[in-house]
Structure 1
Amino acid sequence: MLKNKVAIVTGASRGIGKAVAFKLAQHEVQVVLFGSSEQIQQSAEELEHLGHRVLAIRGDVARENEVNDCVSKTIEHFGKIDILVNNAGIGFFKDVEATSLEEWQRLFEVNVQGVFLFTKAVLPYMKERGQGTIINIASDVARRTIPKGAAYTASKYAVQGFTGSVAQEVRKLGIRVGTINPGMVDTYFNNTVQGDPQKKDWLKVEDVADAVLYMASAPKHMVVDEVMLHPLIQEYPNV
């Protein structure tokens, strides 16, 4: 069902984004890896070594020219865009009065503006073909709030609201838009180490990648609006 489709995955240098790119490639998707660090090329080389056709582009999701350049190169290289996975994100947890304006702005640039810019850039190509799937990786805090998480939570609520509105705009055009809202995931998030023994019972990046695969491979007549997933050990209010 996904063979020869073309996907852009943002934040694909490591963590969830890398796992998503590898998962899609395993199902014969041609993947464009977009990320801000030098590791993006290494991730692409790992996939190429496994025999997959990929394209690596280094850039900042908050810069419109770099986003548009990625989309243009994808079209030049592969001729189409079937799937966009907006995964790039950053986060921190502080009291409001300890949060600087620069930290707030950068968080929203990456977590919200990046989703907006990539979505805006791919939609004309999806509309032209009357099909496409956009998957936004948000968080379970897009549905609830946590202390010291005002900035991060607000950004994920924004992604959730943006996703719902865009989904209604384009669903009649054959384009599906949805969110995946994971709870605690063992990644490099908030300057932590992936594989830390303290996170052994958290979700794995592959769990989130499986959710992306499920959403992307749904039959054409079906849209998966939202997937929420948590590790069994996580306690949280009703969401």
Structure 2
Amino acid sequence: MLKDQIAIVTGGSRGIGKEIAVKLAGSGMKLTIVGSSTQVSETAEEIKKMGYANVLPVQADVSKEEDMQAVVKKTLEAYGSIDLLVNNAGLGFFKLTEEVSLEEWKKVFEVNVQGVFLATKAVLPHMKDQKSGTIINISSDVARYTIPNGAAYTATKYAVQGFSGSVAQEVREYGIRVGTINPGMVDTYFAESTQGLPEKEDWLKVGDIANAVVYMASAPKHMIIDEIVIHPFAQQYPIA
């Protein structure tokens, strides 16, 4: 289903994004992986050593319009098409609201919301021209309910959820699908944590999220999966 299609994955240097890239490459896709540091090139080489030749690394800031336009241009020059965009890049600050600085507030919105907007805006003209495409936004379970000490992060994920729904309605007539994946607790590097800590043993793994991306992207053309919410069995959470 995905073989020889073209994907862009933001936040692809490590963690969830890296695993998404590996799973998509394993499904036969050609990739552009986007990261904010030179680590993205190291990750691309790692994936190539797994036997997947078509992996293009691009160092870019998702919050800058010129960077995301350049990502799309380089992808089209390399592969000639874009079939899938996975907006995975994200960050979070978890502290009392009065302890969140204005700079932190701006930064989390620039990456989590502005980045999704700019990447989506950059790929849409091409997807509209080809009358097909899939956009998957990696959001969070806190796009459905609120938590203390997470006002900034939660606000961004509510914004991503609203943005995704509106764009989905705008682009249906062009055969473009937009969906969100909302994970609960994932064992990764998020929020300056360390992947593989003993206390995260029962959390979701990065491969769980990557498998959900492959599932959503592989849906037949007559079907759209609007949203996937996925939690570790051990996590207690409010029912929306």
Instruction: Tell me, yes or no, whether TM beats 0.5.
Output: yes
Segments of 5+ residues of structure 2 without an aligned counterpart are none
After superposition, residues 88-167 of structure 1 pair within 5 angstroms as 88-167=89-168
SS at match of 1:117: helix
Matches of 1:234 and 1:66, distance apart in 2 = 37
The answer for the alignment partner of 1:232 in structure 2 is 233
Provide the secondary structure at the position in 2 that maps to 1:97. Answer: helix
Q: What is the distance in 1 between the residues matched to 2:207 and 2:51?
A: 20
Normalising by structure 2, report the TM-score: 0.99
Alignment partner, residue 23 of structure 1: 23
| AA partner of residue 24 (structure 1) | L
2:51 corresponds to which residue? 51
Q: Gaps spanning 5+ residues in structure 1: where? A: none
Give 1:51 deviation, angstroms.
Answer: 2.4
Single out whichever of 100-109 and 34-43 deviates more from structure 2.
Answer: 34-43
Alignment match, 1:7: 7
Q: Match of 2:42, as an amino acid?
A: Q
Residues paired across the two proteins, number: 239
Tell me the SS of whatever aligns to 1:34: strand
Once the two structures are superposed, what CA deviation does each residue of 1:157-209 show, in whole Å capped at 9, x if it has no partner? 00000000000000121000000000000000111100111101000000000
- Render the CA deviation track for 1:215-238: whole Å, top value 9, x for unaligned: 000000000000000000000111
Moved over 6 A (4+): none
**Percent identity of the aligned residues?**
64
Residue 33 of structure 2 corresponds to which residue in structure 1?
A: 33
Residue 204 of structure 1: aligned partner? 205
Q: Please give the alpha-carbon distance, in whole angstroms, between the structure 1 residues aligned to 2:230 and 2:15.
A: 17
How far apart in 2 are the matches of 1:118 and 1:209?
19
Report deviation, 1:10: 0.2
| 1:81 aligned counterpart, secondary structure | coil
Superposed CA RMSD: 0.6
The secondary structure found in structure 2 opposite 1:157 is: helix
C-alpha separation in 1, matches of 2:171 and 2:65: 22
Deviation (angstroms), 1:12: 0.3
Q: For 2:12 and 2:80, how far apart are their aligned partners in 1?
A: 21
